[in-house]
Structure 1
Amino acid sequence: MSDVLQDLIKLLRPVFIGENRFRGETQDLGFRALFGGQVMGQSLAAALLTLPEGDWAPHSLHVYFMLAGTVGDHLEFDVDVLRTGRSFATRQVKVTQNGRAILTMICSFQHPEKGFEHQAPMPDVKGPDGIPSQLELARMFRDHFPERVRDIYTADKPIEMRVLDPVNIFAPQKKDPVKFVWMKADAPMGDDYNEHCTMLAYASDFNLVATSLHPHAVSYGQKDLQMASLDHSIWFHRPFRMDEWLLYAIDSPNAGGGRGFCRGQIFNQQGELVVSVAQEGLIRKLDLSAKK
């Protein structure tokens, strides 16, 4: 296992500090605030630690991001045990940082069972082979990044992401609000399925809200654009592995009121729909001249 992947797995495992209470650390990804996917993955991991023994697995989670978190200060996770039934268990997680609530999550878990099945078809797109990764592209444009974040953006990544027809964030052009991303962990992981789920929760926050910017020829790299995740939902449909290629098919059917709404479907290479995602994010154009 690579060092960067091992570090991320460790980061996504909050430590016990009291009954249904946990503490987690933070990581600087070069964004203006703490990456929401990190807090989401840690929150799911904290909720999993309160479940009784058995073959529980997450089937859905629903998150509200209330305040931007900061890098460098630890996080505290308080888990409320709402219900533990025979088939389903429900938990609520509140995350605080420096005494302020920054995220709340409701998540539900289920024992695996058989049932009716149908699914949407997998999009017919090129496979991951031969597509440059986002890291390779970042290194090609290394000198375009501000010096403060240059080393962070071009450092080794624990999850490899390959975008079909990627946007040039330094010179974006109008295009349909659709994006296809192949992603997988950069090294083999263990067989703990719930660890794969927390890793996917982390990764699912990448690429979503930026898709809502495509029709407007703007990108997150612009100084006059404010972006932030507002809420995020995930439904886990079928087992998967984060160390095997997954296709993240994203579209944005609506933007308005300073918000962009995005949906994601995640397929394995066998064409199975394994996860669905929905998110609304803040996409606000700033008037920088008003601050002078």
Structure 2
Amino acid sequence: MDRGARVLPGRRGRALSGRRPPHFARWRIPDQHQWRPDCRRPHPCLRLCPRSGAAVTRRGGRNPGQSRDEGGRIGRGRRSALDGDAAGARLGRAPGLRQKQGVTTNGSSSPAIPWYEIDVVALVSLEPLDANLFRSRVNQGNINGFLYGGQVISQALSAACGTVPAGQPCNSLHGYFLRGGKCDEPVIYEVERTRNGRSFATRRVVALQQGEPILHMECSFHVPEEGLSHARPMPDVPPPETLADVAEVYRSLPGELPPLIAERFMKRGPIELRPTDPDEVLRKLDRPQRRIWLRVPSAAGSDDPAVHQQILTYMSDYWLSGVVLAPHVHPMPSTDYFIASVDHAVWFHRPARIDEWLLYDTESPFAGGGTGVSRGALYDRAGHLVATVVQETVFRKRKT
């Protein structure tokens, strides 16, 4: 046995790996997880070599509910059978994609990329580690210094999509943010295949960093069927071509904005934003309602409906929570308040291309007790209701 190899209880003194790279001192098992011979939870037993990025686990590790053949093995640093272009296609990754801005070649995330440099298509592209296990390639921070919630929930949806056959799109998801994610750590996504039916499939996704969950998400996939239909009509607003970009709106008041907000919003990011009324950005509102046109031009490089759905999820978390504070605080986002999403739910009504303009009609029906609820409706240019979004957010006054 190599010196320094970790010996696991219940395995008759067998080391976790007979061979290990010389540059890796020891395999790290979280103390809160008691390893057992019949353990089938892969995330605490799986560890990644920090230099090579190889995945190493105990032999025969499988996810709950999987057969041995379905689960595959990645013992002794072998790459998963899902790795490669075939798995990448299921995750919205173009064949051969190995390196983009802010993505390291071994698949581990670099420090968080600034908002205005994010490639959203690369952000929702995950690295498969096993049949039900995926890892982020790109991280994006938020104004509080934690991972942007839209990143985590959209990547969780990407992981779930990697376990569902094509032609069965996601119809709804509901995620709970459990703790702030670290920007300098990759996120591991563990998918549980809860149910596979003829028309519906259900998945549960846990996002992990250092063995601790930062997100729990349930999502449902449904084969479209014929049936009755109705939808709330799109409000009458000016078309986006006649409106100014939000960066141009903020530039009109450079001296009135805190430096942090001016730096964040005066540069064009991956999401183009055009408020239907500039006063909704520049002034404190009489009622908690805001409407804005938005799109992600970089999504034009993908024709995969699943990728556009994942980017819509990423985009739906943006601009939504601020509507709660719109009648109370200005400017938004405010540096005087700590703002964090508690949960996020999306219902997808019809396919939409995210590189084309969508109207985001947001409102807040309630705020109190330190939290607020926001609702949003996304419409395409034809007036079709594309998605409905609901979010609860916590707001805390920062101590001076």
* Residue pair 2:172, 2:348 contacting (<8 A) in 1 also: yes
CA distance in 2, matches of 1:261, 1:156: 28
Match of 1:175 among 262, 266, 286: 286
Give the corresponding residue for 1:162: 274
Give the corresponding residue for 1:282: 394
Give the corresponding residue for 2:340: 228
Shift of 1:139: 5.0
CA pair 32-217 structure 1, distance change in 2 beyond 3 A: same
- Farther off after superposition, 158-167 or 99-108: 158-167
Deviations 1:1-26 (A, max 9, x none): xx879822011111111230000031
Q: TM-score normalised to the size of structure 1?
A: 0.89
CA pair 156-49 structure 1, distance change in 2 beyond 3 A: same
Are 2:226 and 1:114 equivalent residues in the alignment?
Answer: yes
Give the corresponding residue for 2:381: 269
* Residue pair 2:118, 2:269 contacting (<8 A) in 1 also: no
Give the corresponding residue for 2:151: 38
* Contiguous gaps of at least 5 residues in structure 2: 1-100, 102-115
* Residue pair 2:288, 2:324 contacting (<8 A) in 1 also: yes
Deviations 1:56-95 (A, max 9, x none): 1010000101101121211010001100111010000000
Deviations 1:231-251 (A, max 9, x none): 110000112111111111011
Deviations 1:125-177 (A, max 9, x none): 111122122233345556766667765544432221111224587x7524210
Give the corresponding residue for 1:193: 305
Deviations 1:202-238 (A, max 9, x none): 0000111100111213444433311011111000011
Report which of the two structures shows the higher radius of gyration computed on alpha carbons: 2
CA distance in 1, matches of 2:387, 2:123: 23
- The equivalences for 1:83-102 within 5 A come to 83-102=195-214
CA pair 189-175 structure 1, distance change in 2 beyond 3 A: farther
CA distance in 2, matches of 1:75, 1:223: 27
CA distance in 2, matches of 1:113, 1:200: 22
* Residue pair 1:210, 1:219 contacting (<8 A) in 2 also: no
CA pair 150-6 structure 1, distance change in 2 beyond 3 A: closer
* Residue pair 1:63, 1:105 contacting (<8 A) in 2 also: yes
Secondary structure, counterpart of 2:119 in structure 1: helix
Percentage of matched positions with identical amino acids:
37
Match of 1:256 among 362, 365, 368: 368
Shift of 1:46: 0.4
CA distance in 2, matches of 1:173, 1:139: 18
Shift of 1:54: 3.6
Secondary structure, counterpart of 2:286 in structure 1: coil
Shift of 1:101: 1.0
Match of 1:247 among 351, 359, 368: 359
Give the corresponding residue for 2:141: 28
CA pair 284-152 structure 1, distance change in 2 beyond 3 A: closer
Give the corresponding residue for 2:323: 211
* Residue pair 1:5, 1:186 contacting (<8 A) in 2 also: no
Q: TM-score normalised to the size of structure 2?
A: 0.66
CA distance in 2, matches of 1:257, 1:31: 21
The letter of the residue matching 2:321 is V
- Farther off after superposition, 186-195 or 65-74: 186-195
Secondary structure, counterpart of 2:240 in structure 1: coil
CA distance in 2, matches of 1:70, 1:142: 31
Are 2:247 and 1:123 equivalent residues in the alignment?
Answer: no
The letter of the residue matching 2:141 is D
CA distance in 2, matches of 1:225, 1:79: 34
- Would you say how many aligned residue pairs link Structure 1 and Structure 2? 284
Q: What root-mean-square deviation, in Å, do the aligned CA atoms of Structure 1 and Structure 2 show?
A: 2.3
* Residue pair 2:144, 2:338 contacting (<8 A) in 1 also: no
CA pair 151-212 structure 1, distance change in 2 beyond 3 A: closer
CA distance in 2, matches of 1:174, 1:148: 22
